[in-house]
């Protein structure tokens, strides 16, 4: 009896979470006009190839995907490195104002991004970075959430290991790369997934910064399908569907680290 109830709840939950995704897939195989029919189509249609061709024609989807992929990878790699180094510094080095510095880093997490928009835009404009790739990568390299996450990861790292490394004559960088970093792979995996997703889905900042169509990222380009008197829903759905694929790939690649990263803190005292 209880088992049936659990199954029932699980099934309903699964349906609720799968249906929007299913609709996205179905909608991407129909002509936009067909989606307004009632009842709406429940089975995949025959327009997938036409929609792909159309998406390529209207917003150069392949170019947009390539831009999104490489900017997200570059950002994720650099940002993970910065987070790890800053987190390590804040966790393991004793210096004046360490607590204050950590406080400042955490405080930046509490400022809503909307407040930073205009000043940050002015900064980018004054260094001539409007409409450049570095404008969507560099300003967010020091990611306070990532720094904090990595600091927490390093704080329990035994000092004895660092000392023995030093005794054996290893420099700070060597200790960091050879001894410390390999030990926090789970947390690093989690951080990579978080930052990649954040950058992949970033919308308002790339929208404000990028002005040339050849530099658009996926969310900014998809936004162009919403017109004044027509909305290309099948294009939007297809684009959104294709855009989830790299995310799924990243998640699969880093999944093992991710799960153990999330649970990593659960049993530590």
Partner 1 sequence: MQKNHVIAGVVIAGGLAMSGCATGGAPVKEAPKIAQSPADQLSGEIKVWSWDVAAKALQRMAPEFEKAHPGVKVEVVDIGYDNAYDKITVGLKSGSGLPDVITLEDTQIPGYAENFPGGLVDLTGVAGKYKADFDPAKWAAASSGKGLVALPWDSAPVGLFYRRDHFKQAGVDPESIVTWDDAVKAGEKIKKITGKRLFVSDLTKPDAFTMLLQQLGQGYFKDGKVAVNTPEAVRALTLLKTLKDKDLLQNEKGWDGRVTATKQGKAAAQPTAAWWSGTLTGEMAELSGKFGVIPLPAFDAAGSRTSANGGSALAITSQTKNQNTAWAFVEWLLANKDSQVSMMKNEALFPAYLPALSDPLFDEPQAYFGEQAINRLFADQVRKIPPVELTGDDTQVQEVLKKAVSSVLLNGEDPKTALDGAASRIATATKRPLAQ
Question: Which residues would be at the binding site for partner 1 (CB under 8 A)?
Answer: 32-33, 36-38, 112, 114-119, 121-122, 124-126, 130, 204, 207-208, 211-213, 220, 223-224, 226-231
Radius of gyration of the CA atoms of the chain, in A:
23
> Could you tell me the smallest distance in angstroms from the CB atom of residue 120 to partner 1?
9
153 burial type by CB count under 10 A (0-12 exposed, 13-18 middle, 19+ buried): buried
**Minimum distance of partner 1 from residue 104's CB (angstroms):** 17
For partner 1, the closer CB: 115 or 266: 115
CB of 209 to partner 1, least distance (A): 9
- Judged by beta carbon, residue 101 or residue 130, the one nearer partner 1 is 130
Q: Which is nearer to partner 1, 104 or 118 (CB)?
A: 118
Residue 94 burial by CB count (10 A; 0-12/13-18/19+): exposed, middle or buried? Answer: exposed
Q: Which is nearer to partner 1, 4 or 212 (CB)?
A: 212
**Dihedral sign computed on CA atoms, order 200, 206, 207, 211:** negative
Residue with smaller CB distance to partner 1, 227 or 269: 227
3-state secondary structure of 9: helix
Greatest CA separation found in the chain? 75
CB contact at 8 A, 203 and 219: yes
Least distance CB 116 / partner 1 (angstroms) = 8
We find the least distance from the C-beta atom of residue 228 to partner 1, in angstroms, to be 5
Phi, psi of 91 (to 5 degrees): -90, -35
């Amino acid at each position: 009896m209880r088992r049936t109830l659990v199954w029932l709840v699980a099934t309903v939950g699964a349906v609720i979470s799968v249906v929007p995704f299913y609709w996205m897939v179905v909608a991407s195989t129909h002509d936009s006009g067909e989606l307004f029919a009632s009842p709406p189509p429940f089975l995949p249609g025959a327009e997938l190839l036409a929609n792909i061709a159309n998406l390529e024609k209207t917003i150069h989807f392949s170019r947009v995907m390539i831009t999104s992929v490489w900017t997200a990878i570059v950002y994720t790699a650099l940002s993970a490195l910065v987070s790890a180094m800053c987190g390590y510094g804040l966790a393991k080095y004793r210096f004046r104002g360490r607590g204050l510095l950590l406080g400042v880093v955490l405080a930046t997490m509490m400022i809503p991004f909307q407040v930073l928009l205009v000043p940050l835009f002015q900064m980018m404009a004054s260094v001539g970075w409007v409409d450049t790739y570095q404008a969507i990568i560099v300003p967010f390299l020091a990611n306070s959430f990532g720094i904090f996450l990595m600091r927490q990861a390093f704080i329990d790292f035994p000092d004895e290991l660092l000392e023995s490394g030093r005794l054996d004559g290893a420099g700070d960088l060597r200790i960091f790369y050879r001894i410390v970093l390999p030990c926090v792979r789970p947390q690093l995996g989690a951080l990579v997934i978080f930052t990649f997703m954040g950058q992949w889905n970033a919308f308002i900042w790339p929208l404000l910064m990028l002005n040339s169509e050849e530099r658009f990222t996926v969310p900014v380009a998809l936004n162009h399908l919403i017109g004044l008197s027509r909305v290309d829903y099948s294009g939007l759905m297809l684009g959104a569907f294709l855009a989830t694929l790299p995310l799924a790939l990243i998640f699969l690649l880093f999944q093992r680290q991710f799960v153990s990263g999330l649970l990593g803190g659960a049993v530590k005292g």
